Structure 1
Amino acid sequence: MRRNSRSNRARILAAAREELGRNPDVTLEEIARAAGVVRRTLFGHFPGRAALLDALAEEASEALRGVVTRAPGAEETPQRALARFVLSIWPVGDRYRLLLALARQDLGTERVSEILAPARDEATAILERGQGAGVFHDHLPAAVLSAALEALTLSLLESVNAGTWEDDGTRTAVATLVAAGVSDQSATAIVEDMASELRAEASDG
């Protein structure tokens, strides 16, 4: 029974991500149908929309923490570290981009800030290191520059979501490096090299 309950919960969350991606106003009943469960089963796990969104938010938070935990050490150059960060975070951001928009409305900005905190801290630390090394712009404090780059990433994610742009994360990584102060040519070369490295790591793993 416990295994069946866990399976139902996972199916409901997967269906919720998919259905919310298609229609932000989808009802819980429609999500239950998409998950292949009855309404009572969904409400047994999630008594309301807020509870369902909170569970999705916690999934997003865990995924972000997982990406940050796998971040390389300080021996990697700041430019490569930033490229790695954006490329690693992109699949998580792409999966939860709509959730973050919904969370602002349904869960509040405090909860969203809590979800994004690990990623924000890691990005700020990379930018601080790059500013200290003279490879990133230093006309803005690292935390402010980090917030600006986060807004850029979320905006590009929304463009992908709206179907007005296509990206697998590489173009966003290049744009992020350029915005941080790296030349276009160098940024492109760094991102291409890092993307290749991450693909090799994924195939080995």
Structure 2
Amino acid sequence: MTSRALRRDAVENRAGILDAARQTLANHPHASVDVIARSAGLSRRTLYGHFEDRDALIRELIANGAQRFNEIAASVDDADARIALARLASRLWQEAAHVQVAAALALDEAHVADTAEALAPLRRTVAALVRRGQEDGSFRTDLAAPTVGRLIEEMARTVVSRTDAASTGAENLAVRSVLSIAGLSWREADELLAAHPEIARPEAQE
């Protein structure tokens, strides 16, 4: 076998391990390395050839997920900070809802430092949105922008880990919670979402 074929096999094995880990952890959050390796159709030895331990594997999952979240943050460009924040919350929720258990693992205390580093671009986006909203009078000003951003992050952590992503209104709850922390009343959130029904999926507003 050529070195190119070997490299291709290694890349495919690594991708297969990550896919198996996502699916396995979705059903069994505390699944062992052995279980994940079997799910990938590989030996434990092969898995350890790519990841030194279970934490290293989870860190890789976090990094991959964070890249997608950061890309979503970069794609939101609404001039109105309220709309931008609501749209960002909605899009992030839709992404997290597909990998809720993996997202919850990323937000777990054991991996909070890795998550914080991986999601630094997203954090900067949220902080910038909060500052913009404070400057134009849309958001609360009794707290500093970094503090509001951290409160939003903690709320998201709770919603992702505690809410059934498939439940009716889950996305709507996430968006409204973010807007509430930013300083909007429930009436203002109602008006905003009614004026921009594309922000949340229709079934979330039924």
| TM-score, length of structure 2 as denominator length | 0.81
Return the letter of the residue paired with 1:31.
I
Instruction: Report how far residue 165 of structure 1 moved.
Output: 5.7
Matching of residues 1-205 of structure 1 within 5 Å: 1=5, 2-72=7-77, 76-94=79-97, 95=99, 96-102=102-108, 104-105=109-110, 107=111, 109-160=112-163, 167-191=169-193, 194=196, 196=198
Name structure 2 gaps, 5 residues minimum: 202-206
Instruction: Report how far residue 100 of structure 1 moved.
Output: 1.4
Return the letter of the residue paired with 1:36.
G
Count how many residue pairs are aligned between Structure 1 and Structure 2.
193
Work out whether residues 78 and 127 of structure 1, in 8 Å CA contact, stay in contact via their aligned partners in 2.
yes
- 1:22-47 Cα deviation digits (max 9, x unpaired): 32321111001112222232122113
- 1:11-62 Cα deviation digits (max 9, x unpaired): 2112112222332321111001112222232122113112212211221221
Instruction: Report how far residue 68 of structure 1 moved.
Output: 2.1
- 1:166-202 Cα deviation digits (max 9, x unpaired): 5552321122112222232331343355562687xxx
SS in structure 2 of the partner of residue 135 of structure 1: coil
Instruction: Report how far residue 84 of structure 1 moved.
Output: 1.2
Alpha carbon RMSD of aligned pairs, Å?
A: 2.5
Q: Which moved more, 1:172-181 or 1:140-149?
A: 172-181
- 1:51-108 Cα deviation digits (max 9, x unpaired): 21221122122112211221215xx201101011111222344424222145x32x5x
Return the letter of the residue paired with 1:99.
L
Work out whether residues 51 and 57 of structure 2, in 8 Å CA contact, stay in contact via their aligned partners in 1.
yes
CA 1:41/1:167 → structure 2, altered by over 3 Å: closer, same or farther?
A: farther
Return the letter of the residue paired with 2:59.
D
* Aligned-partner Cα distance in 2 for 1:54–1:66: 18
* Aligned-partner Cα distance in 1 for 2:9–2:190: 47
* Aligned-partner Cα distance in 2 for 1:40–1:122: 41
Spell out structure 1 runs of 4+ moving beyond 3 A: 91-94, 163-168, 191-195
User: Once the two structures are aligned, what percentage of the paired residues are identical?
Assistant: 28
Q: Which moved more, 1:88-97 or 1:127-136?
A: 88-97
